[in-house]
Structure 1
Amino acid sequence: MTLVAEEKPSVWYRLSGRSSFQTSLPRRKEQRKFLPEVQGLRAIAVLMVVSYHVWFGRISGGVDVFLLISAFLLTGQFVRKLENGRALELLKYWGHLFKRLLPMIAVTLLGVLLASYLFMPETNWTGILRETWSSLLYYQNWFLASEAVDYYATDHSVASPLQHFWSLSIQGQIFILWPVVFAVAGGVARKFRLRIRPLLIYIFGAIFVVSLAFSIVTTNSQQAFAYFDTRTRLWEFALGSLLALVLPYLDVKRSIRMAMGWVGIVAMLSCGLILQVGQKFPGHMALWPTLAAALIIIAGFTNSSMGVDRFLSWKPLVKLGDSSYALYLMHWPVLVFFLIVSGRENAGLIGGTAIILVSLAAAILATRFIDTPLRRNQWIEKKSRRSLLTIAICIALVATPLGVWQLHIHRQEAAVQAKEQANQAEVLRNYPGALSLHEGFVDEADPDLPLKPALTALNKQWVSLGTACEGAFLPDSSVLQKACGQTKASSNASKTIVILGDSHAEQFSGALIPVAKNNDWQLVSLLLGGCDFGSEESNSGRGADCQEFNKAAMSYVLQLKPDAVFTVATDAIANSSEERLVPGYEDTVKSLVQAGIEVIGLRDNPRFTENKASCVARLGAVGCEFQQSDNLASSNPAEPLNQIKGAHMIDLTDQYCLEGTCKAVAGNILVYLDDNHLTWDYTRTMSSALGERIATATTWKMK
């Protein structure tokens, strides 16, 4: 996973003559051109990553070891150049480096694209294509960081076969940044006649302290984002660089180094078993595996049969280190597609062993027949432009099928949109949605039409009111400003309704928007994914952010004095009939109606433990139907609140369930976009039913 096999761990402080950059500190006596124990350490790290992923479903901390080794080797290479007075030649270095990294990436990405087309549901295609671009162009970590904290991100019920590229992306970014640091440091050292090694120690020491502090703070406040954030990982690279800079001057007794080596290997191997790496890293907890690896590197060559270096220098292990990059690349896609094809949640002992053996064989073959020949090709190495040509070819090999696939999806979606705009009457006939469940409905739809929305366009099914809040509707609270949306402001709106709550209130607003448009209502939304609208005291289980949001939203509503608020009153439990009233909802309703604000509370829709859209892609519409009694309570838990004057509890369950059987597809429209949200296309077709029930409940004059 780190530098490819040609970058053998070698001693970096051998000098021929002195330069102004050298330091006069005493050096360790050992001067070896090759450090097999570091190559073995790399092999152990990749085996940790693979085995923990495949057999234990956990994260090992091995990636953190890789990051440290990357900086350790990179620093040695550049310090050697600086101390020998050689030009860094950054452009040549980057061309040489990425010429060696990209061929294996291209092979992996092409394999993933083919397997995704063959085995993944269409609902995941758009996400896979976006991740392929981000993996190819080294920004996958930022893509995953945004997805990790985005409540509305693509469904994760099927693991991404490219998720592991996040660490490669961070490494690629460091491979660009670190050489620039060396170049700047070299210039400063020359201008002010400073010694380069002490200067670099100060620079990387500062990076270590600042990044570690930032990592600790961000991990505690926003761990899902911090895990993939390059800034929270800089200290791990800085630690590797500091290790490379000071190691030549560390003079530790052999007996102590032997103990350090074994302490390091035991600590490194046990990290993933003791710590929940995926939930606690990379803050201060990531010091565990990185310091463990540092101990092993400091231990170095002990020339003792009892030293850990004897084990790490074992020839098969060192040889495996040559294929560690390819093994890291290939094991995760093999695991993911095995689980998809087999329909299993975990690989198990036998299946996991097979996955590891297949991945290992593929890695060794790819290293031997693709990586090594390209890496050692003298014709390519002779001129820098040939390295750039190799890079361009690798990118083109992936970008071409990727672009063609995306263009095909775009054209399909555009064709459907064009038909909708051309003939609305025909759309209503062919895509009636919820109207198909109404009594007396006669189906006149073309049976050969594709489903709507396209399974590749589900990320466009989140409801939006159109514009951000402005003017009189813009909240004073910074907590609400980014979460506030509105329909176009109208000076003569007959009513103003505020939509409050989470993504389920948002999805049902897809049915409310047509009603509001027909009746000249002004809509304003205050929405926070995963945060039901209830009293802040009773809704403490949703977290501090949710409590703060609800408190600010309540203040906003009481100040605005709208005619009504539109909310979701109940919480459905996935694959369960244990539906309940939103905690604190009754108290909130009473507070609102006492302030003269009416409340429209909708019953929640069913939720599931599987992605219904993916189910339809695999089994078809009928195969994904379910019984209402298995997913909702026998009666609406919010119904008693209708006794409160000004409270109107509305149940739209009959708009997706007919005689106890609930549809995954109704009237040619996909009902669900994931495991718990309705598609916007479908909620639009529920608008007539919602309008009628609001009119009946409120006695408002409506068109």
Structure 2
Amino acid sequence: MHYRTDIEGLRALAVLLVIAYHYQFPGITGGFIGVDVFFVISGFVITQLLMRSMAQGTFSFADFYARRIRRLVPVFLLVSTASFLLISPYYLDDDYYVFSKSWLSSLVGVSNFYYFSELNQYFAPETQSLTLLHTWSLAVEEQFYLLWPLTLLLVWRCFRSWGGVRVFLFIVLLALLLSVYLAETAPKAAYYLLPARLFELLLGAGVALHASRLPVLQSWMAQIVATTGLVLIVATGLLLDNSDHFPGYNALWPTLGTALIIYAGLHQPGTWVARLLSLRWMVFLGGISYSLYLWHWPIVALLHYQLVELTWPIRLSMVAGVILLSWLSYRLVENPFRYTQWRLGKLLLLMVLAPAVLMWAVQVTIRLADDISFRIPEERRELYKIIEQNDDTDLYKACFKGPYYQFNTSAKCLFGVPAPQGEPNSILIGDSHAIALMGFVEELITGTDRSLLLVTQASTPFVLAEYAAAVFGDDSEKIDRSRALTEYLSKRPMTVFVSAYWDAYLASSTHHRSFVAAIGWLVEQGHDVIILEDVPKLPSSAHAHCLLKNMADCSIDIAPVRKRLANFERFKAEIRAGYPDVAWINPREVICDDARCQTVLNGIPLYRDADHLNNLGAREIARAYLQRFGNPLLERYSANP
């Protein structure tokens, strides 16, 4: 084993791709593959280190893990602490709490599991503003480091034979097929968890394990192999984008390219690719690449959160800033700690256990605090409370988070005029977008003879019981809700307000058919059907806090809004053609014109996240709607005496 400057250059290439992608440099649409280049390099380097110590009989688990802690943890503690101080004046309730949880999970090497779980929730946080999101890849490597030394030790003798080579290639192929399968069937799990990334680490490990068994390349062949490897890396960095399945087979090209460059350099270090990667500035950036990777993301995450546009001057300033920070942290923290002689017990105590306790204390403090708005300037606290403390899913919790089958029909979920014998003449059904419009509907039914029952549930739009399995799969709770509502609505005619996150569902032909069938059935049952159209989806949840961020213009471009409405407009046209008596109420008419859609109305922020109104915002839209168009319900129903 010897020091290879071309591998340092590969590290530089990897981190530059990642930075260019996250800083939105034009054309680098697949720069996220830099992480996969790192995985191959890690597999190669770690396996070489393990093989050397095992061959010399000096391998020690305690020494190996102590070296990993000294290498990875000190700079992480520095960057994460600085990030906490940086975001504290800006991040709000849940965003602040999410950071504290991710901080702890990153320290103990499970942030990939944390983000996989957190981002699969219905009200998932905005990924671009997750300050430590990039640590998921470090967690994947750390989990590999946990498993690989023992595995390698157990099969050490097998890897010395050609039989071992064949077995190893078979394992890599199985790992690749698993990655392809997971990328197709469980893309979030594939992206964040080790199983789908294992083949990448094993590719690097394989080059290290079988270096003496691989053919020695002649100079001309090494040039071809190295060039092919570099082309594969650069091409995927330029041609892939975040809409492609990944990792899977798309991750094979940059990782295979990395393995080819490492292989070519084993015996022919003079290829033009190796010379390019060994340029002094590339080696410098490769040397500080770990610090670069850690520092580059928290800054851009905060800018995303504050809705700051990444202009060229900002991009270039960030690049210069993170290089300087990374060099300083490398010189003052990373390198000095890397060569300390602290043993594993002391490292675990001082660098893992003690910081973990402190981070846990911060997390608990944030969670237990009923109101942390004291961090927000006093003149903006009322805006904060409108956004953060008017969540309909909390205000009407009994009507949203209760049983799926025996949904709540008590007075807690009855609105408008009193319902005779507890039997309302109206009902609002749908998912979280339906309950987010409850303030809007309440304003409309005020002054009418409507008594309204609210029945909503997350991700559970109304479909007939016979369609539920096709729409919801094996989710028995959502199927129960469909069955219960079908039974309830078959008893007597009512006014039925129907709402849903139309954009999210109607791209599916199954959902389209089931929604058309549900509206048709409601009409056939004698119900007076009123469909509530949805409000525009914002570019990010951070736009809901626009006023808190002192933005001069809180409006959004209408062009993406119209594009997302295409499927809904087809659905609307089909319903109008088949069921002309169905009524439509469109809140967008109040907040959108031909060019822009407003996220603030009369000084009141309307949203609480990227696609849900807050309760006061919904009511403000309703008041503006009534003033502009009158009350469409008074044309259909009697006024409340």
Q: CA deviation at 1:701?
A: 12
Corresponding residue to 1:77 among 22, 45, 49: 49
Query: Are 2:252 and 1:291 equivalent residues in the alignment?
Result: no
After superposing the two structures, state which structure 1 stretch, 448-457 or 174-183, moved more: 448-457
Distance change (3 Å), C-alpha of 1:264 and 1:545:
farther
Structure 2: runs of 5 or more not aligned: 414-420, 505-511, 626-630
1:593 alignment partner, one of 523, 543, 546 = 523
User: What per-residue deviation string (whole Å, max 9, x for no partner) do you get for residues 176-216 of structure 1?
Assistant: 22234335x25xx7xxxx63545875775565334322321
Mapped pair 1:672 → 2:589: no
Is 1:95 paired with 2:30? no
Aligned identity (percent) is 24
- Shift in Å, 1:336: 4.0
Q: 1:600, 1:650 within 8 Å by CA — same for their partners in 2?
A: yes
Shift in alpha-carbon separation, 1:296–1:524, aligned structure 2, 3 A: same
SS at match of 2:247: coil
**What residue is the counterpart of 1:179 in the other structure?**
149
- 2:208 matched residue in structure 1: 244
In 2, Cα distance between equivalents of 1:332 and 1:507 = 33
Alignment of 1:347-366 (within 5 A): 347-348=311-312, 350-366=313-329
Give per-residue Cα distances to partners, 1:420-448, cap 9 Å, x unaligned. Answer: xxxxxxxxxxxxxxxxxxxxxxxxxx999
* More deviation, 174-183/113-122: 113-122
| 1:214 and 2:178 are equivalent in the alignment | yes
In the alignment, what sits opposite 1:541?
none
Determine the C-alpha separation between the residues in 1 that align with 2:181 and 2:269: 43
Deviation at 1:162, TM superposition (A): 2.5
SS in 2 for 1:390: helix
Q: Following the alignment from structure 2 to structure 1, what is the Cα–Cα distance between the partners of residues 500 and 288?
A: 56
Offset, 1:566: 3.5
SS class of match (2:529) = strand
Q: Partners of 2:307 and 2:584 in 1: how far apart?
A: 44
Q: TM-score, normalised by structure 2?
A: 0.73
CA gap of 1:277–1:570, structure 2 versus 1, over 3 A, is: closer
**Contact 1:46–1:62 at 8 Å: present in 2 too?**
yes
Please list, as runs of the form range in 1=range in 2, the aligned pairs for 1:58-69 lying within 5 A after superposition.
58-60=29-31, 61-69=33-41
* Structure 1 residues 564-579: aligned runs within 5 Å: 564=494, 565-568=496-499
Contact 1:265–1:292 (Cα < 8 Å) also in 2: yes
- Distance (whole Å) between structure 1 residues aligned to residue 622 and residue 257 of structure 2: 61
**1:394 Cα deviation after fit:** 7.1
Aligned residue pairs: how many?
589
CA contact (8 A) 1:602 1:649 kept: yes
Query: What SS does structure 2 have at the residue aligned with 1:163?
Result: coil
Structure 1 residues 347 and 135, CA, compared in 2 at 3 Å: closer, same or farther?
farther
Letter in 2 for 1:368: R
Post-superposition Cα deviations, 1:236-267, rounded to whole Å, max 9, x if no partner, equal 12222222221221123323223211211222
- Mark the runs of 5 or more structure 1 residues left unpaired by the alignment: 1-10, 12-32, 415-445, 475-484, 538-543, 574-581
- How far 1:369 sits from its partner (Å)? 0.8
Shift of 1:283: 0.8
Residue 40 (1) aligns with residue 9 (2): yes
Q: Secondary structure at the match of 2:550?
A: helix
Q: Secondary structure at the match of 1:38?
A: helix
Indicate yes or no: 2:299 matched with 1:329: no
What residue is the counterpart of 1:372 in the other structure?
335
- Asked if structure 2 preserves the Cα contact closer than 8 Å seen for 1:59 and 1:278, the reply is no
Verify the 8 A CA contact 2:47 2:209 in the aligned structure 1: yes
1:176–1:500 Cα change, 3 Å? farther
Give yes or no for the alignment of 1:138 onto 2:109: yes
C-alpha displacement at 1:318, in angstroms? 2.9
| Cα drift, residue 272 of structure 1 | 0.9
Corresponding residue of 2:628:
none
Residue identity in the other structure for 1:313: S
Name the one with the larger helix percent: 2
Q: 195, 200, 207: which one pairs with 1:231? A: 195
Contact conserved, 2:591 with 2:599, CA < 8 A, in 1? yes
Equivalents in 2 of 1:162, 1:618: separation in Å? Answer: 21
Q: Which SS does the other structure have where 1:247 is aligned?
A: coil
Are residue 160 (structure 1) and residue 130 (structure 2) matched?
yes
Alignment of 1:408-487 (within 5 A): 409-412=369-372, 450-451=382-383, 453=385, 461=393, 464=397, 465=399, 467=401, 469=403, 473=405
Task: Quickly say closer, same or farther: Cα 1:34–1:679, change in 2 above 3 A.
Answer: same
Residues 67-95 of structure 1: CA distance to partner in whole angstroms, max 9, x if unpaired? 11112222222333444444542x44323
Contact between 1:601 and 1:648, CA under 8 Å: does it hold in 2?
A: yes
1:339 is displaced (CA, Å) by 6.2
Q: Which amino acid aligns with 1:282?
A: P
Give deviations 1:452-490, integer Å, cap 9, x for gaps: 7475668895664355546xx38xxxxxxxxxx656799
State whether residues 45 and 208 of structure 2, in contact with CA within 8 Å, keep that contact through their aligned partners in structure 1: yes
**What does residue range 364-403 of structure 1 map to in structure 2 within 5 Å?**
364-377=327-340, 381-392=341-352, 395=355, 399=359, 402-403=362-363
Quote the Cα distance in structure 2 between the aligned partners of 1:275 and 1:647: 45
Measure, in 2, the Cα distance between the counterparts of 1:683 and 1:523. 16
Change (3 A) 1:678 1:80: same
SS at match of 1:249: coil
What CA distance in whole angstroms lies between the structure 1 residues aligned with 2:348 and 2:19?
32
In structure 2, what residue type is equivalent to 1:591? W
Deviations 1:567-614 (A, max 9, x none): 1289799xxxxxxxx999777534322134443433444554465531
Residues in 1 aligned to 2:514 and 2:400: alpha-carbon distance in whole angstroms: 30
| Cα offset, 1:315, TM superposition | 4.3
Question: What SS class does the counterpart of residue 35 from structure 2 fall into?
Answer: helix
* Cα distance per residue 1:383-436 (max 9 Å; x no partner): 33222233137725972784486157445489xxxxxxxxxxxxxxxxxxxxxx
Task: Return closer, same or farther for 1:665/1:72 CA change in 2, 3 Å cut-off.
Answer: same
Structure 2 residue aligned with 1:106 = 77
- Amino acid across the alignment from 1:376: Y
Give the 3-state SS of the residue equivalent to 2:611 in structure 1: coil
For residues 621 and 300 of structure 2, the distance between their equivalents in structure 1, rounded to whole angstroms, comes to 41
In the TM superposition, residue 684 of structure 1 has moved relative to its aligned partner by 9.0
Aligned partners of 1:616 and 1:624 also within 8 Å: yes
**Structure 1 residue 327: Cα displacement:** 1.0
Which shows bigger deviation, 393-402 or 260-269?
393-402
* Pairwise CA RMSD: 5.3
Report the secondary structure of 2:546's partner residue: helix
Q: TM-score, normalised by structure 1?
A: 0.68
Contact 2:463 2:482 in 1 (8 A): no
Q: Which amino acid counterpart does residue 227 of structure 1 have in structure 2?
A: Y
Asked whether the equivalents of residues 600 and 648 of structure 1 are also in contact (C-alpha less than 8 Å), the reply is yes
User: How do 1:656-671 and structure 2 match up within 5 A?
Assistant: 664=600, 671=606
Residue type of the partner of 1:249?
A: R
Distance 1:127 1:35 in 2: 40
Cα deviation 1:648-693 (Å, max 9, x = unaligned)? 6567789999xxx988478x98642024312257669999999xx8
Aligned 8 A contact 2:392 2:438 in 1: no
